[in-house]
Amino acid sequence: MANIISGKELAEEIKAELKLKIDELKRKGKTPGLATILVGKSPASIIYVRNKGLACESLGIYSEQYNLDENITQEDLVSLIHKLNQEDKIDGILVQLPLPKHLDEMNILASISPDKDVDGFHFYSVGRFFCEKDYNNMKKNKLFLPATPYGIMEMLIRKNIKLEGANAVVLGRSNIVGKPIAMLLLSANATVTICHSKTQDLANICKNGDILIAAIGKPKFVKQDMVKEGVVVIDVGINRVDDKIVGDVDFDEVSKKASLITPVPGGVGPMTITMLMVNTVVSAERHLNEG
Ligand code: GUN
């Protein structure tokens, strides 16, 4: 039976470190602030945004939540973002994805000021971390790394998983998880293979992975016979099946072969929210020091 990586416990550890920084900022007269923008009424997005607000509250970060009608125009949404770009009490702006089809996601994300892009989805943030070769430098330079991949990296590193030279297989190629986690693992000297819906012989590629990141949104897709003995498995999936939340990995099967595995819930999810808080605090520190 595998050991379980508790994202919940690691997130608590990181939040305790973060609380000290927030208290220090407040002593200097700066309260970090996050604005979240939700368009429409997707039940999953409502929960994610609410959890982000609750995390802010528990840490003493100021937060504002904008709940917008699903028919909002591009112009109105961009003009709200431009207003938030100018507000001193806001250090981070997050537009919850996905957006309704009539909105141009790329351009909306690009309207966020890069110095408030705590989600790391602006072209500037993506290009900035793409160009940095070394993960340690990314951290030293306090780049805004996208929260889910950032959380995964912190889990692997805090659990002392050897990344250098490891074969890492990433299932999924989204801008939110698959592509950025592949780039981050590469920056930590792993050999990375990205698989997607058109990949041939996917099971055999997975079997070669010392580390397997599953981010494809298919419930219990990864089975025991697709993984190597001793693999480290990070399950990013959040799928609702019969009123239960399950990951992209068949936990009961795969945990028999894995050396380490994240549960769903309680694995990647809490880390994602925590790394968003980390980025918001970094942004507040920068705003305080650089004006
Ligand atoms: N939708 C799913 N994950 C995320 C995330 O990390 N940030 C935003 N903004 N939307 C998401």
Task: Supply the CATH number for residue 46's domain.
Answer: 3.40.50.10860
Residue 4 Cα to ligand 1 midpoint, Å, equals 25
Which residue, judged by its Cα, is nearest atom 9 of ligand 1?
96
**CB-count burial class (<10 Å; 0-12, 13-18, 19+) for 239:** middle
* Nearest atom, ligand 1, residue 95 CA: 9
Q: Give the distance (Å) from ligand 1 centre to CA of residue 256.
A: 31
Co-location of 176 and 226 in the same domain: yes
Within a domain: 274? no
**Ligand 1 in contact with 72 (CB < 6 A)?**
no
155 shares a domain with 78:
no
Q: What pLDDT, on the 0 to 100 scale, is given for residue 1?
A: 67
Angle, nearest 10°, between helix axes 268-290 and 43-59?
A: 50
Q: Give the helix/strand (H/E) hosting 279.
A: helix 268-290
| 89 annotated active-site | no
Q: Does 286 map to a domain? A: no
For each of the chain's 291 residues, which pLDDT tens digit applies? 679 999 999 999 999 999 999 999 999 999 999 999 999 999 999 999 999 999 999 999 999 999 999 999 999 999 999 999 999 999 999 999 999 999 999 999 999 999 999 999 999 999 999 999 999 999 999 999 999 999 999 999 999 999 999 999 999 999 999 999 999 999 999 999 999 999 999 999 999 999 999 999 999 999 999 999 999 999 999 999 999 999 999 999 999 999 999 999 999 999 999 999 999 999 999 999 997
| Cα gap 212→78, rounded to integer Å | 38
User: Does residue 52 carry a catalytic annotation?
Assistant: yes
Distance 51 CA to ligand 1 centre (A): 12
Q: Give the per-residue pLDDT at 267.
A: 97
Residues 153 and 227 in one domain: yes
Residue where one domain finishes, among candidates 89, 113, 137: 113
Separation CA 150–CA 180 (nearest Å) = 9
> In angstroms, rounded to a whole number, what is the distance separating the alpha carbons of residues 87 and 54?
22
- Any atom of ligand 1 within 6 Å of the Cβ of 95: yes
Domain end position, chosen among 113, 137, 162: 113
| 291 domain residue, yes or no | no
Are 249 and 157 in the same domain? yes
pLDDT at 236: 98
Q: Are residues 72 and 184 in the same domain?
A: no
Domain count, the chain: 2
**From the candidates 91, 117, 119, 210, which is the catalytic residue?**
119
Supply the residue whose CA is at minimum distance from atom 2 of ligand 1.
Answer: 97
pLDDT attached to residue 155: 98
Residue 81 lies in a domain: yes
Q: Is residue 134 part of a domain?
A: no
Residues 150 and 265 in one domain: yes
152, 253: one domain: yes
C-beta of 97 in contact with ligand 1 (< 6 A): yes
Domain presence at residue 56: yes
Do the Cβ atoms of 91 and 280 come closer than 8 Å?
A: yes
Determine which one of 96, 220, 248, 257 is catalytic: 96
Ligand 1 in contact with 55 (CB < 6 A)?
Answer: no
CA of 177 to the centre of ligand 1 (A): 9
Question: What pLDDT sits at residue 184?
Answer: 98
Residue in 80, 147, 87, 149 with CA at minimum distance from that of residue 115: 87
Domain's final residue, options 68, 94, 113: 113
Does residue 151 share a domain with residue 103? Answer: no
Residue 137: inside a domain: no
User: What b/e string do you get for 67-99 counting C-beta neighbours within 10 Å, with b at 16 or more?
Assistant: ebeeebeeeebbebbeebbeeeebbbbbbbbeb
Q: Are residues 151 and 238 in the same domain?
A: yes
Residue 128 lies inside a defined structural domain of this protein: no
Q: Which residues contact 124 (CB under 8 A, 6 or more apart)?
A: 114, 117
Give me ligand 1 centre to Cα 17, in Å.
Answer: 24
Does residue 96 have an active-site annotation? yes
Same domain flag for 160 and 210: yes
CATH of the domain at 206: 3.40.50.720
Domain holding 67, by residue range, is 29-113
108 and 167: one domain? no
Does one domain contain both 252 and 161? yes
